[in-house]
Amino acid sequence: MQLLLFNAFNGLIQGVFYALMALGLALILSLNSVINMAHGGFLVIGAYLAYSLAPYLGFWGALVVGPVGAAIIGLAVERVLIRPLYKRPDPLYTLLLTFGLALIIEDLTRTIWGAQGLPFQVPPALNSPISSVLFFITGYRLLVVGITIVAMLGLYLLLRYTRLGIRIRAGTLDLETVSALGVNIYLLRALNFALGCLLAGLAGVLAAGILGLTPPMGSSLIMPSFVAIIVGGVGSLVGSILGGLLIGVAAGITTTYYPAASEAVIYLIMLIVLVIRPRGLLGQEGLFE
């Protein structure tokens, strides 16, 4: 029972990372119409920036600077490489471009920081378990869950109440009309892309404290995030979060009984959802069909 709880909680933490990644991917997918294959790259950038700057800024400073750095680089990438492609309606080109970027980022990370894994130091106070029975719940893990909840709440408030958020939501429904109403949709898409990268960077820093840093950490987290979006439903941000947590916990629980199937179960859930409910758990009907 304790083992089951342990694995389920591990899965939940993993699911939190999937959910953060999926949320950023879904934002970029719905407004920018870009499948951002480089999303894992932005996660890696956030994580390694935080790692490099932590000695100077301390853990908390790095926690802020990592995601912000990823967002700034995201902004630059969007401006220079992705913006020229908006006029091509075929999603093929942005998909290939971000795919190339993902390869470049992973390879450069390996060149700069080395191929071996690096540990990311979290404050020692956060590393002690909460209780001896629930030994796996450390302060840091609670912090990860807490920060994620705050980030998601913040995103909700942003999208619900601010002018930027309302424009983003309107843009996902009908970008042409938003443009006709005088909104600068280039700026809007740029900010939205940066917002997605910010979430990826945040996931990167938080994940670094648990999984450590390796150059392929981004590409190993991105595929489950796609699955999270498909399971949750394209076009639904809440669905992406739900999908991420669901597959994370499912993989965790599977680890208890049959570790070899822990990844396969993620894809199995996706196939089942696609067969029974093709639009995903919370997806809108008819979208992309």
Partner 1 sequence: MMRRHAAEIVLWIALLTVPLWLGYVGGYAALGSKILIYGIAALALNLVLGFTGGLSFGHAAYFGLGAYGAGMTLKYLVPSTPLAILIGTVVGGLAATLLGPLVMRRRGIYFAMITIAIGQLFYFLAVRWNNVTGGEDGLAGFRRQPLHFGSFVYDAQSESKYYYLVLLCFAVAVVIMRVLLASPLGHTWVAIRENRRRAQFLGLRTDFYVWAAFAISGTLTALAGTLNAMLFNFTSPQDLHWILSGNFVIMIVLGGMRKFWGPLVGVTIFVVAQDYLSSLTDNWMTAIGLLFVLIVLLFPKGILGLIARRGREVAVAVAGPRAAIERSTATIEPPPAPLKQEMK
Asked if 275 touches partner 1 (CB under 8 A), the answer is yes
Q: Which stretch binds partner 1 (CB under 8 A): 4-12, 15-23, 132-140, 229-237?
A: 229-237
Which of 19, 21, 31, 35 is close enough to bind partner 1 by CB under 8 A? 35
The number of CA neighbours under 13 Å toward the Cβ of 21 is: 38
> 203 vs 229, which CB is nearer to partner 1?
229
Instruction: For helices 217-232 and 237-257, give the axis angle rounded to 10 degrees.
Output: 110
The window from 6-14, 92-100, 118-126, 192-200 that contacts partner 1 (CB under 8 A) reads 92-100
3-state helix, strand, coil split of the chain in percent (to 5) is: 75, 0, 20
**Closest to 282 measured CA to CA, from 246, 248, 234:** 234
Give the interface segment with partner 1, choosing from 10-18, 104-112, 119-127, 130-138 (CB under 8 A).
104-112
Decide whether 156 or 277 has the Cβ nearer to partner 1. Answer: 277
Name every residue whose Cβ is closer than 8 Å to that of residue 270 and which is 6 or more positions away in sequence: 227, 230, 231, 247
For residues 172 and 234, the answer to whether their CB atoms sit within 8 Å is no
Q: Is 230 in the site for partner 1 (CB under 8 A)?
A: yes
Interaction of residue 114 with partner 1, rule CB under 8 A: no
> Interface with partner 1 includes 149 (CB under 8 A)?
no
CA 277, CA 231: separation in Å to the nearest integer? 9
- Please state, in angstroms and as integers, the Cα–Cα distance from residue 265 to each residue in 29, 52, 163, 270, following that order: 25, 35, 41, 9
CA distances from 178 to 189, 201, 245, 251 (A): 12, 29, 33, 41
User: Which of left, alpha, beta for 270 (phi over 0: left; psi -120 to 50: alpha)?
Assistant: alpha
- The answer to whether 61 contacts partner 1 (rule: CB under 8 A) is no
Binding flag, residue 267, partner 1 (CB under 8 A)? yes
Nearest to 47 by CA among 23, 28, 35, 65: 65
Under the criterion CB under 8 A, does residue 87 sit at the interface with partner 1?
yes
Residue 213: strand pairing partners: 118
Q: Does 112 bind partner 1 (CB under 8 A)?
A: no
Q: Which listed residue (5, 164, 268, 281) binds partner 1 by CB under 8 A?
A: 268
Stretch binding partner 1 (CB under 8 A), from 50-58, 64-72, 80-88, 145-153 = 80-88
User: Per CB under 8 A, does 200 bind partner 1?
Assistant: no
User: In the complex with partner 1, which residue's Cβ is closer, 1 or 275?
Assistant: 275
Q: Does 229 bind partner 1 (CB under 8 A)?
A: yes
What is the contact surface with partner 1 in residues (CB under 8 A)? 29, 33, 35, 37, 81, 84-85, 87-93, 95-97, 99-104, 106-108, 111, 175-176, 223, 226-227, 229-230, 234, 260-261, 263-264, 267-268, 270-271, 274-275, 278, 286-289
